[in-house]
Chain A
Amino acid sequence: MIRRCIGVLSLSTIVLCTILAGASVAAPQDVANDISQHVMSPFCPGVTVHDCPSDNAIELRAQIAKWSAGGMSKQQIMDRLIAQYGETIRAEPATSGTGLLAWVLPGVAVAIGVVIASIAALRWSRRRPIERHGAVVATALHKRVEAELAELREKL
């Protein structure tokens, strides 16, 4: 019963997410705000045009809003900005060429981490005969006894 409830619930949520996560039509100023968050400011190092407080960045934001209101698509505006300021204006690396490595490596690292942890957990959790387990504990115990004896000797 519980499993069935959970199954139905999960299915309904996935369906709802799929339906509702669909794209909606955005106002030109929302498009401009969105673009300015994907463009690094040529005027303030390390921050986006959206976050840059300089007057030049304010002008650039207004320009982007004008282009957006004039009917240019997000991609057209991005292309124009890249042509004007160069590749460094992209706030995220391209998914090709040198930029690809930036995207791929974190995914690979996470996958490797999860695989290693899974293998380690599987190996560690494998059931072993009592004798062998006893031997492991005995070795550990032996080491502890040895360490404590050494400490005692030192004190004496």
Chain B
Amino acid sequence: MSLASLGRPSLIAAFVFAIAAATLCAYGAIKRKPGIAWAGARSLAVAAGFVALATVSLMTAFFGHDFSLAYVAAHSSRSLSGPYMFTALWSGMEGSLLLWALLLTVFSSIALRQAIHKNPRLVPWAGAVLGGVSIFFLALLVIPANPFIRSAPIPADGLGLNTFLQSPGMLIHPPLLYTGFVGFSIPFAFAMAALFTGRLDEAWFTTTRRWTLFAWSALSIGIVIGGAWAYTELGWGGYWAWDPVENASFIPWLTATAFLHSVVIQEKRRMLKVWNVALILLTYVLSIFGTFLTRSGILSSIHTFSEGPIGKWFLPFLALMLIGGLAVVAWRADALRSENRFDSLLSRESAFLLNNVLFVAAAFTILWGTIYPIIAEALTGTRLSVGPPFFDSVFIPIGLAIVLMTGIGPLISWRRMSKGSFTRIVRYPLLAGGATIVVLALFRVRSLGALLAFSLCAFTATAIVGEFVRGSRIYRNRHGLAWGPAFVRTVLRNRRRYGGYVVHLGVLLIVIGLAGQAFRTERQAVMQTGDKLSVGNYVLTYEGRTQSQTAEKQVNTATIDVTRGGKHITTMHPQRNFHFAQQQPQSEVAIRTTPLEDLYVVVTSFDASSNAAAVRAFVNPLTWWIWVGAFVMLCGMGVLLSSSAPVAAAAPAPSARRFEKVAIS
């Protein structure tokens, strides 16, 4: 018996254990019998083991070229090389769902085990929710999306992996996105557990704080890597096209970011409890909704939805999550009342609230644009397109407002701040922002959007650097440290705060990179050997084509000499290849990257008889900063994840303590 034949029985066993887990946890929660609930949590760990076995058996089939499995035959071939066998696993719907189920059951088992000591009262209900969600995904794998269906007849070779997916980016991007989506199920389950048990203090999110940060970090980096993959593989000179698959990952990222900020208010001031529970519910539902959108076929037409194999499964599940979740929130509305009030409109709480409104508005706007074609088709029968120009128009103003609030928020103190203090503290960021506009305008920068973006980045960066300077100055004055050690101690002593600022600096660098696209230059031409093409300050000279062949593809390499101001800069070698297994041509982009700009050259076709090449060349200013910004964000996330979770909510403010004394006396 081959290992591949264990796949389906393993999935069925995992499904049965997930049912057992949900049932035992729910029973243990209702009857208040922690031992039974703990048995349920262990059942989920057993389910995770069986899903892992199913995954291993499918991978074994990939590596063994076992084309008796239809999924293996459809997504790989004998010529596919080692690491891309893993990409083949998540290149189709069934494999993606298997990866999702694996991450879900493993994360759930670990989270429940961790929480059993920290927060034993929430574990039974959290286990029931996680078990329930696992049942759904395993049911999909057992019934409509079985990855172990047999081929008949068995082909001699597989169809191969889509050539665009044969890239290092695709080894990392999908697992990171799934880690993000699935990771949000942990805080979601504990939020639901808090609602069921009525323990609506800070315990549910302090218990899952690292999971939330981990999921958010994975999703953030996954999105950026997806952009990098599009930039280097797809050959259209950009990294973000606002297509529904991209939007499906960005929408929950926005609500999760709102949650990460608003949860601080609950922690510090015991406010916004309903909002926080609603946000994590929304984030999780949107993660599932994104998968539904991209996997159900509904986006090509509303009429194809019911024809898709899993669309009709997702819709009731989504409805249950959303309506059930909101019903539980409504049931606990009394217990979710804020325990404090804002002391002033000019306070960090207010700034966080406004920031939250902006994030949610951005999420709604993108969701609306993504689903509008479906709504329009359902209402009028006419299909409309909603593409990048719409999303740019509606998102950029909100995005710029978010950048502004990123700068203002840290400057304002908790509870209240006098207008005088605010004016004093905001003057340097304001001057930096204003000076940036003037300087760029003098350099004849004409794009209003880019001017505003650079100016707001300067404003916010000055505000954040000011925070680092103020913090470091305290250590310098108290302990006589040099700036460097004082800076390090400042960050290490308050990792949550300064880790957050580092993430913000990374976001600003990304915004600078995005704003650079306002100055993009693009040219295209059909070039004969010796022809020249000017793009930006560069002159490209086509020097001919060379041809070679490997087992997988025919390789056509263009040689393009690049000069600037008559001086040789580099020689670039973009390719236009033909993959035999997929019968598919693919362009390999050549990119010369510098902090100032990228020169991006792609050959879209060759004329076999004359050797002429159809060339597209782009000068993309400041793109390098997007990847640097992502790296800075990653560093900030590392600092955040290394910080210890708060033990309990902050003590009530002095004034509140006084009132408590009054009340007690």
In the complex, the answer to whether A140 meets B339 with C-beta atoms within 8 Å is yes
Q: Name B376's contact: one of A3, A98, A109, A125 (CB within 8 Å).
A: A98
Known contacts A33-B522, A98-B376, A141-B660; is A58 also within 8 Å of B604 by CB? yes
Known contacts A98-B382, A125-B345, A137-B660; is A17 also within 8 Å of B441 by CB? yes
Q: Output the least CB separation between A24 and chain B (Å).
A: 6
**Shortest Cβ distance from A107 into B: residue:** B394
Docked complex Cα distance between A125 and B347 (Å): 10
List residues of chain B with CB within 8 A of the CB of A22: 446
In the complex, the answer to whether B372 meets A109 with C-beta atoms within 8 Å is no
In the complex, the answer to whether A93 meets B384 with C-beta atoms within 8 Å is yes
In the complex, the answer to whether B236 meets A113 with C-beta atoms within 8 Å is no
Residue B388 at the chain A interface, CB threshold 8 Å: yes
Residue A149 at the chain B interface, CB threshold 8 Å: no
Docked complex Cα distance between A65 and B235 (Å): 19
In the complex, the answer to whether A21 meets B438 with C-beta atoms within 8 Å is no
In the complex, the answer to whether A117 meets B241 with C-beta atoms within 8 Å is no
CB contacts under 8 Å to A, within B178-217, are 198-199, 201
**Shortest Cβ distance from B435 into A: residue:** A9
Q: Name B663's contact: one of A2, A20, A87, A137 (CB within 8 Å).
A: A137
Mark contacts of B598-635 with chain A using CB atoms, 8 A cut-off: 1 yes-contact digit, 0 otherwise. Answer: 00000011000000001000000000000000000000
Q: Output the least CB separation between B470 and chain A (Å).
A: 19
Q: Name A124's contact: one of B270, B341, B384, B398 (CB within 8 Å).
A: B341
In the complex, the answer to whether B385 meets A89 with C-beta atoms within 8 Å is yes
Q: Name A92's contact: one of B343, B357, B393, B448 (CB within 8 Å).
A: B393
Number of interface residues of A (CB under 8 A): 74
**Shortest Cβ distance from B657 into A: residue:** A137
Question: Interface size for chain B: under 10, 10 to 19, 20 to 34, or 35 or more residues?
Answer: 35 or more
Q: Name A113's contact: one of B299, B360, B451, B455 (CB within 8 Å).
A: B360
Q: Output the least CB separation between A113 and chain B (Å).
A: 4
Q: Output the least CB separation between B414 and chain A (Å).
A: 13
Known contacts A21-B448, A105-B368; is A91 also within 8 Å of B389 by CB? yes
Q: Output the least CB separation between A81 and chain B (Å).
A: 12
List residues of chain A with CB within 8 A of the CB of B446: 20-22, 24
Q: Output the least CB separation between A95 and chain B (Å).
A: 11
In the complex, the answer to whether B387 meets A40 with C-beta atoms within 8 Å is yes
List residues of chain A with CB within 8 A of the CB of B347: 125
**Shortest Cβ distance from A94 into B: residue:** B384
Residue A5 at the chain B interface, CB threshold 8 Å: yes
In the complex, the answer to whether A17 meets B448 with C-beta atoms within 8 Å is yes
Residue A13 at the chain B interface, CB threshold 8 Å: yes
In the complex, the answer to whether A113 meets B368 with C-beta atoms within 8 Å is no
In the complex, the answer to whether A125 meets B236 with C-beta atoms within 8 Å is no
List residues of chain A with CB within 8 A of the CB of B353: 117, 120-121
Known contacts A20-B445, A88-B384; is A102 also within 8 Å of B372 by CB? yes
List residues of chain B with CB within 8 A of the CB of A30: 521-522
Q: Name B361's contact: one of A38, A45, A89, A113 (CB within 8 Å).
A: A113
CB contacts under 8 Å to A, within B350-372, are 350, 353-354, 356-357, 360-361, 364-365, 368-369, 372
Q: Name B388's contact: one of A91, A128, A133, A137 (CB within 8 Å).
A: A91
Residue A130 at the chain B interface, CB threshold 8 Å: yes
Residue B479 at the chain A interface, CB threshold 8 Å: no
Known contacts A106-B364, A125-B345, A125-B350; is A90 also within 8 Å of B388 by CB? no
List residues of chain A with CB within 8 A of the CB of B368: 102, 105-106, 109
In the complex, the answer to whether A92 meets B451 with C-beta atoms within 8 Å is no
In the complex, the answer to whether A91 meets B390 with C-beta atoms within 8 Å is yes
Docked complex Cα distance between A88 and B198 (Å): 50
List residues of chain B with CB within 8 A of the CB of A88: 383-385
> Which B residues lie at the A interface, using CB under 8 A?
32, 121, 198-199, 201, 234-236, 238, 241, 243-244, 270-271, 299-300, 335, 338-339, 341-345, 347, 350, 353-354, 356-357, 360-361, 364-365, 368-369, 372, 376, 379-380, 382-390, 393-394, 398, 423-424, 427, 430-431, 434-435, 437-438, 441, 444-448, 451, 455, 521-524, 587, 604-605, 614, 652, 656, 659-660, 662-664
A110-B398, A120-B353 given; name 16 further pairs at CB < 8 Å. A5-B431, A13-B455, A22-B446, A40-B385, A47-B243, A47-B387, A62-B524, A91-B385, A91-B388, A92-B393, A93-B376, A93-B386, A110-B361, A113-B360, A125-B347, A147-B198
A-B interface, 9 closest residue pairs, ranked by CB to CB distance from nearest? A91-B387, A138-B663, A125-B342, A9-B434, A21-B448, A106-B365, A16-B441, A51-B236, A124-B342
> Which A residues lie at the B interface, using CB under 8 A?
2-3, 5-6, 9-10, 12-13, 16-17, 19-22, 24, 29-30, 33, 37-38, 40, 45-48, 50-53, 55, 58, 61-62, 65, 87-93, 98-99, 101-103, 105-106, 109-110, 113-114, 116-117, 120-122, 124-125, 128, 130, 133-138, 140-141, 143-144, 147, 151, 154
